[in-house]
């Protein structure tokens, strides 16, 4: 850790119910919300397992559990498996439109349809456009919206942060009726290619928990590295 990182104020949340493992209690390490985060600093924090949600940069910090592992893909070494190759062929004619972070009504309406279909009881299923935009973006980051379009029809959006030596997948949402296309997987495949073109060696995928089924997809992209005991190691998955 650099001297500038060592001087950063860190806050520990109060214990709360773990959102991933039933019956477990979690605490979160949070970067000073008043800190001005540059691309350089964000890159350093990502390399130490931190992630962004809205303006909050955080990392799980549970005293009795280390199940949450930050994972990333070394994009130059990635090789798609057969299922991923089929997914790419199925979606290769989609048109990707890169846009800076900005509120657009059709994006928001797609987000609501996705949440209502996938997470109807979640607090994320909220018709407040301000909450939607604050969840996906931050004033201190270079956030991009990648539209996935079938000709002119908007099918999905992948949101990602770009920084000095990496790309961080923030969130992906898509038309619920198009679930069979595997647009979530396609978004990651496309982000891997985008990172390579931009000269970014890593695509960060957030946190992975071995016993959480909805996170299994993250380790299907191989090789994959996990941040464990203060360093990045190849995960034997």
- Say whether pLDDT at 92 is over 90: yes
pLDDT band with cut points at 50, 70 and 90 for residue 219: very high
Q: How far apart are CA 86 and CA 184, in angstroms?
A: 14
All structural domains of the chain: 3-71+224-234 (no CATH), 74-206 (3.40.630.30)
Q: For residues 185 and 131, is the Cβ–Cβ distance under 8 A?
A: no
Q: Decide the pairing of beta strands 51-53 and 25-26.
A: unpaired
Considering the chain, what is the average pLDDT of its residues?
94
pTM: 0.94
Give percent above pLDDT 90 in the chain: 87
């Amino acid at each position: 850790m650099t001297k500038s990182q060592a001087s950063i104020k860190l806050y520990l949340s109060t214990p709360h119910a773990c959102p991933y493992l039933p019956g477990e209690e979690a605490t979160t390490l949070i970067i000073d919300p008043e800190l001005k985060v540059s691309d350089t600093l964000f890159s350093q924090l990502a390399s130490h397992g931190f992630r962004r949600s809205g303006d909050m940069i955080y990392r799980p910090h549970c005293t009795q559990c280390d199940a949450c592992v930050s994972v990333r893909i070394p994009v130059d070494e990635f090789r798609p498996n057969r299922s991923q190759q089929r997914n790419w062929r199925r979606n290769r004619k989609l048109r990707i439109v890169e846009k800076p972070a900005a509120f657009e009504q059709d994006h928001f309406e797609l987000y609501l349809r996705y949440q209502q279909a996938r997470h109807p009881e979640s607090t994320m299923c909220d018709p407040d456009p301000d909450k939607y935009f604050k969840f996906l973006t931050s004033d201190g980051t270079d956030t991009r919206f990648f539209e996935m379009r079938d000709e002119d029809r908007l099918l999905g959006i992948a949101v990602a942060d770009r920084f000095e030596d990496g790309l961080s997948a923030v969130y992906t949402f898509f038309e619920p009726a198009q679930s069979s296309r595997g647009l979530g997987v396609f978004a990651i495949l496309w982000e891997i290619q985008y990172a390579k073109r931009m000269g970014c060696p890593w695509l960060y995928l957030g946190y992975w928990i071995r016993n959480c089924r909805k996170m299994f997809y993250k380790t299907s992209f191989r090789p994959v590295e996990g941040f464990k005991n203060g360093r990045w190691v190849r995960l034997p998955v």
